[in-house]
Amino acid sequence: MRILLNIDVDDPDRAAAFYAAAFGLTPARRFGDAAIELLGASAPLYVLRKATGTIGAGSAPRDYTRHWMPLHLDVVVDDVDAALATALHAGAVQEGAIRDETYGRIVHLADPFGHGWCLLEFSARGYDAIATGQQG
């Protein structure tokens, strides 16, 4: 199985520029003016042109102000402070302070399209520090 990440935006070129500047992704293929493929993460990210007000899944019209969504993306970084400075410079909005957790350090962001992101710097043990057992 392979996972592809698709993010609806109103301007793929602006989105590609933001994700390149904030998270170091590299624009790869273009699909006309409808989409841009970004590489450099463990899964390809596709920014898809979807106009504000159009209907996607469900019945709510697309709105690119900050919104809740049941999925967010974590960007695993070596230095959360440096990564935060880079993302803010690119146009992200910080949502709350950097938090120290058992598994590492984390901070919440919103991108210019209203989507939620986290920057995550794992501790030496990472999620093993909070694991309670194996599934199986």
Residue 18, burial from CB neighbour count under 10 angstroms (0-12, 13-18, 19+): buried
Distance in angstroms (rounded) separating the CA atoms of residues 70 and 72: 7
N- to C-terminal Cα separation, the chain: 19
pTM of the model: 0.87
Ordered per-residue pLDDT tens for the chain, 136 residues:
788 999 999 999 999 999 999 999 999 999 999 999 999 999 999 999 999 999 987 788 999 999 888 788 899 999 999 999 999 999 999 999 999 999 999 999 999 999 999 999 999 999 999 988 766 6
Domains of the chain: 5-52+64-129 (3.10.180.10)
